[in-house]
Structures are given as C-alpha cells and as structure tokens.
Amino acid sequence: MLKLFASTYDFLEGAFSLLRSMWIVLKHSTAKRVTVLYPEVMPKLAPRWRGRIVLTRDPDGEERCVGCYLCAVACPVDCIALQATEDEHGRRYPEFFRINFSRCIFCGFCEEACPTYAIQLTPDFEMSEYNRQNLVYEKENLLISGTGKYPGYSFYNVAGLAIKNKAKGEAENEAPPVDVRSLLP
C-alpha cells in the first residue's frame, strides 16, 4: 500500500513537473527577444573587440611599425607578411605589409606581440567580399591616419635611438649618454 502511495506521488510529481516546464516555456511568449536584428540594428561592440586589423601612426603622423616581424612570428595562421627597410636616418619601417584576412582568425596575438602599439584590432567586422583576393590587405589599406587605442604613445620618444630630429639622450626620461673616454665624474 505504501509502495502504491509512493509511486502515485512520483507520478503526480512527474506530471506536475512536465506541466510546469511547459508553462514556463509558454510564459516566454511575452518575454523580450534577445536577438539583435543585425543589418537593421548594429550590435554594440566593446572598444577592445577584436575585428579588422589596422596599422596606426604615432602622434607626429609617422608610421609606428618598425618592421620587427614579431607580429608575423606570433601569428598562428601565418597571415601577416612584411619586409622591413630603413630610411636614410636609420628609422625602420615596413617596405610592404600584407595581411591576408581570408586566413586571419582575429586572435589578437599580433597586437599583443607588437612592441610599438603599431598593429591594433578594431571593433569592425563588416569586411565581406565577393572576391577572395580582395581580402588581402596591403599597407595602404591597413594604415590609418590616427593613433588608435594609445593616443600619446610614440616609440621613438621613449627609445634611446638616434633618428632624424632627435639625437641620443634626448628622449623622455633619458639622460645624455655618458662619454666613456672622459675621466670626469
């Protein structure tokens, strides 16, 4: 008898739980839908969203990239290709800089590897193309005229390197170089 009661209770409990879950689902008829209707409504992208990759310039308008190849090395899918070169003052810059976005996985490793904040990922994903070749971006497609996420930063202003308009020791927080041949303290 007790067993019968127990199984009846189990049955009723089960039936109730089924009806309850159906009711809970039915209540969602009036709930707000979470879908963002994308082409009509732009989804909100965070400032650090990892999208289209750009090359930034320093506050003086010069290219930040120094052609160190660290981004190309860090890239897990080998989609970055560049060739470093120097101008007459010894400032390094990329001769060409190519990102194949049909391979890029937007992992952001290049941005992490970059010592000069030159390469940055931006909150933009609308880069579909009908022609695959159009997804290969050259330097002129990648370079932007601004500084991106790090407005005041200029690599050569903190690096102890002599280039045009700046001799050694003139950078920020930098002492003039020591003359090792002098005996004066």
Partner 1 sequence: MTIVQPLLVVGFVLFALLNMASLLIWIERRLLGLWQDRYGPNRIGPWGLGHVLADMIKIFFKEDWTPPFADKTIFVLAPAIIVLTALTSFAVIPFSPDILIVDLDIGILFFLAMSSMGVYSVALAGWASNNKYSLLGGLRASAQMLAYEVFMGLSLMGVVALTGSFSVKEIVAAQENLWFVVTQPVGFLIFAIAGIAETHRVPFDLPEAESELVAGFHSEYSGMKFGMFFVGEYIGVTLISALIVTLFFGGWHGPFLPPLLWFFLKTLLFIAGFVLLRASLPRMRYDQLMTFGWKFMLPLSLLNLMATGAVILIRN
Q: Which residues bind partner 1 (CB under 8 A)?
A: 18, 21-22, 24-26, 28-29, 31-35, 37
- Quote the least distance from Cβ 21 to partner 1, whole Å: 5
DSSP 160: -
Cβ proximity to partner 1, 24 vs 180, nearer residue = 24
Gap between the Cα atoms of 96 and 14, Å rounded? 68
Mention every residue, 6+ apart, whose C-beta is less than 8 A from residue 120. 53, 54, 55, 56, 111, 114, 148, 149
Report which of 78, 75, 54, 57 is spatially closest to residue 66, judged by C-alpha positions. 57
DSSP letters along 80-130, please? EEEEEEE-TTS-EEEEEEEEETTT-----HHHHH-TTS-EEE-S------S
| Least distance (Å) between residue 20 CB and partner 1 | 9
Which residue, 14 or 76, is less far from partner 1 as judged by CB? 14
CB of 123 to partner 1, least distance (A): 24
| Nearer to partner 1 among residue 33 and residue 181 (C-beta) | 33
CB of 23 to partner 1, least distance (A): 9
CA distance 82 to 118: 13
- Minimum CB separation of residue 131 from partner 1 in Å reads 25
* Closer of 37 and 46 to partner 1 (Cβ): 37
Which lies closer to partner 1 via its Cβ, residue 31 or residue 175? 31
Q: CA-to-CA distance for 23 and 176, rounded, in angstroms?
A: 77
Q: In this structure, which amino acid lies at residue 108?
A: G
